Amino acid sequence: DTGVSQNPRHKITKRGQNVTFRCDPISEHNRLYWYRQTLGQGPEFLTYFQNEAQLEKSRLLSDRFSAERPKGSFSTLEIQRTEQGDSAMYLCASSLAGSNSPLHFGNGTRLTVT
């Protein structure tokens, strides 16, 4: 079990640029989640997939954000036209299907928008 893997660990970008993050979940997990965490706050839900289907999106996920999970394996989160308010830690988590399955998190991608 290699755990949830996220790349890159840190991304610095200029306002207006597009960025893409990647998440590789635990191999047998069919659910994959994206969360965002800012300093001093708990993680906030953005979206989740079951296999390749995106089943729920938060109101936090503006139209500049898009997530994909082709083939139900790894996932990408893209932010277009980044803004300084997008600076945060983006966390990926995976779990087995079922509402009682705990989430296992990766170490996140820290985004800094200058």
Partner 1 sequence: QKEVEQDPGPLSVPEGAIVSLNCTYSNSAFQYFMWYRQYSRKGPELLMYTYSSGNKEDGRFTAQVDKSSKYISLFIRDSQPSDSATYLCAIMYGNKLVFGAGTILRVKS
DSSP H/E element including 34: strand 31-37
- Under DSSP, the state recorded for 103 is P
How near is the Cβ of 16 to partner 1 at its closest, in Å?
26
How near is the Cβ of 89 to partner 1 at its closest, in Å?
8
Listed residue (79, 93, 89, 92) closest to 110, CA to CA: 89
**Which residues on adjacent β-strands are paired with residue 28?**
none
Question: Cα(first)–Cα(last) distance of the chain, in Å?
Answer: 36
Position of tokens 């994206």? Answer: 34
Of 58 and 80, which has the nearer Cβ to partner 1?
58
How near is the Cβ of 6 to partner 1 at its closest, in Å?
8
Of 29 and 80, which has the nearer Cβ to partner 1?
29
In angstroms, rounded to a whole number, what is the distance separating the alpha carbons of residues 70 and 7?
A: 17
Of 9 and 15, which has the nearer Cβ to partner 1?
9
Q: Site residues (CB under 8 A) for partner 1?
A: 4, 6, 31, 33, 40-45, 48, 55-56, 91, 93, 99-100, 102-108, 110
How near is the Cβ of 71 to partner 1 at its closest, in Å?
21
